């Protein structure tokens, strides 16, 4: 599975400050895009990992503490996004509590199975 996380959109037009840190953006067409309406936005974006995206960042520069490194997930095909030893774990980026994501993954897989329609059904 090449794509680990799908791109997301943060509403940066909202005047509230967004904090985006310690994330892993992997296998996306665009890792992170910043949409700014004016210089009033004060989003804080730093310490993120980028790996195998077509474009890592758009409309912003990679920020302090951001790295380009393979995250070495334990078993992403089965929802285990815990990190093996490597630069991402050393920089303390990625999930702080992979157990939460494992539970969400299990729930999603259950919903995916129940939504599958059998042929002729």
Tens digit of each residue's pLDDT (9 = 90 or more) over 36-92: 655 555 677 889 999 999 999 888 888 888 999 999 999 888 888 889 999 999 998
Residue 66 CB neighbours (<10 A): 23
pLDDT of residue 88: 93
pLDDT of residue 94: 84
- Domain range summary for the chain, segments of one domain joined by +: 19-115
Judging by DSSP bridges, how do beta strands 67-68 and 73-75 pair with one another? unpaired
pLDDT greater at residue 42 or residue 21: 21
Structure tokens at 116: 């599958």
Proportion of the chain above pLDDT 70, given as a percent: 74
Q: Over 50: is that where the pLDDT of 9 sits? A: no
pTM for this prediction: 0.70
Q: How many residues does the chain have?
A: 121
Residue from 3, 64, 62 nearest 28 by CA: 3
pLDDT greater at residue 37 or residue 24: 24
């Amino acid at each position: 599975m090449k794509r680990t996380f799908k791109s997301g959109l943060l509403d940066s037009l909202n005047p509230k400050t967004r904090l985006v840190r310690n994330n892993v953006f992997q296998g996306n067409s665009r890792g992170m895009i910043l949409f700014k309406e004016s210089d009033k936005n004060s989003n804080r974006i730093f310490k993120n990992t980028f790996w195998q995206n077509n474009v890592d960042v758009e409309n912003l520069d990679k920020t302090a503490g951001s790295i380009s490194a393979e995250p070495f997930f334990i078993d992403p095909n089965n929802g285990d996004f815990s990190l093996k030893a490597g630069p991402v774990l050393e920089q303390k980026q990625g999930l702080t509590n992979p157990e939460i994501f494992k539970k969400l993954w299990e729930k999603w897989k259950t919903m995916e199975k129940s939504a599958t329609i059998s042929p002729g059904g």
